């Protein structure tokens, strides 16, 4: 009986790398656009390798897979995969942590620069018939006088830090898994999380979504941020209390925010963020470029192929 390689869902437009991987070992191939748990369960029933984007990989879903199956998550985060259940079931899980690093860093930097230079203020002012700068903005901090704070100091955070340092910003950061020496070698002054939040004119988040990091930036954290600070999140939506963020933007406590990710995606029609001022948004697209998408699919497909061959996985999580 041949093996089965299943794509539960994807937003890339083609699955040529995935189909090629299946063909190399004579595996059956199928692709779907699963959203619900029931849809996903039926799609992966008996599968030996599963390539997964956002479909829920629960205990019930993974129990329907073939013994010793592998789940390959397209991307870095695995908050839609029950890792404890996978371990209990003997399902191997891996991800692709090293694609799109430069794209996400570029995206975060672009949002930061647009908000720091208050481009949306100017655009709104001109459309309203204004031309005098003082009527459009209430002060503008030089990037050379700006402190950029990072929560999380992984690959993307460091790439973002190097971009902002080029504009003369002071870079500080917090990551309990990075030594002070490692942070300083990357040009980042290590601080406690509370210190970073309290001093950063721009606060950018670069951590996975876990029970410990959910709403790491809540109303209390925003109250500790400097008045007029900017919040950037190109990591995971659940890191921020979105209701509190909308209130902080409306009150002027924060002068702007850039979000590529949200607690619920697509962003609900009744989200308070939809009417929040000085908010730049994008649809979980920070990773996107022609090159990065191709690399993601190729690397994920190579992992699936290793799984089908019973080989060691490159980026195993369980």
Q: Which residues are catalytic?
A: 236, 265, 284
Question: DSSP assignment of 182-224, as one string?
Answer: HHHHTT-EE--HHHHHHH-SEEEE-----TTTTTSB-HHHHHH
Pull the structure tokens for residue 28. 């059956």
Q: Which of 41, 40, 48 is nearest to 1 (CA)?
A: 48
Give the strand pairing for 229-233 and 202-205.
Answer: parallel
What is the spatial distance between Cα 114 and Cα 120, in angstroms, rounded to a whole number? 8
Residue 65: strand, helix, or coil: coil
Question: DSSP assignment of 5-46, as one string?
Answer: EEE----SS--HHHHHHHHHTT-EEEE----SHHHHHHHHTT
Cβ within 8 Å of residue 310, ≥6 positions away = none
Q: Which of 48, 90, 41 is nearest to 72 (CA)?
A: 48
N-to-C CA span, the chain: 26
Pull the structure tokens for residue 4. 């089965």
């Amino acid at each position: 009986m041949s093996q089965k390689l299943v794509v539960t869902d994807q937003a890339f437009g083609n699955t040529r790398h995935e189909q090629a991987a299946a063909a190399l070992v004579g595996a059956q191939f199928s692709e779907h656009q699963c959203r619900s748990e029931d849809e996903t369960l039926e799609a992966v029933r008996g599968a030996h390798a599963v390539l997964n984007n956002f479909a829920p990989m629960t205990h019930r879903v993974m129990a329907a897979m073939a013994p010793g199956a592998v789940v390959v998550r397209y991307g870095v985060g695995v908050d839609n995969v029950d890792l404890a259940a996978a371990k209990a079931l003997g399902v191997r899980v891996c991800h692709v942590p090293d694609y799109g690093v430069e794209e996400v860093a570029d995206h975060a930097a672009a949002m930061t620069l647009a908000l720091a230079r208050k481009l949306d203020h100017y655009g709104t002012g001109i459309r309203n018939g204004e031309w005098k700068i003082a009527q459009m903005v209430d002060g503008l901090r030089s990037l050379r006088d700006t402190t950029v704070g990072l929560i999380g100091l992984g690959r993307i955070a460091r790439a973002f830090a190097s971009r902002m340092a080029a504009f003369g910003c002071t870079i500080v950061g917090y990551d309990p898994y990075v030594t002070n020496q490692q942070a300083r070698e990357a040009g980042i002054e290590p601080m406690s999380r509370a210190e970073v939040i309290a001093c950063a004119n721009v606060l950018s988040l670069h951590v996975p979504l876990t029970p410990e990091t959910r709403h790491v930036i809540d109303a209390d954290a925003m109250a500790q941020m400097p008045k007029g600070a900017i919040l950037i999140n190109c990591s995971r939506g659940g890191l921020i209390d979105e209701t509190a963020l909308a209130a902080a933007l409306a009150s002027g406590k924060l002068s702007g925010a850039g979000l590529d990710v949200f607690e619920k995606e697509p962003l609900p029609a009744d989200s308070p963020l939809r009417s929040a001022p000085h908010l730049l948004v994008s649809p979980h697209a920070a990773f996107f470029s022609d090159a990065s998408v191709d690399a993601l699919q190729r690397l994920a497909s190579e992992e699936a192929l290793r799984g089908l061959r019973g080989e060691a996985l490159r980026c195993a999580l369980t």
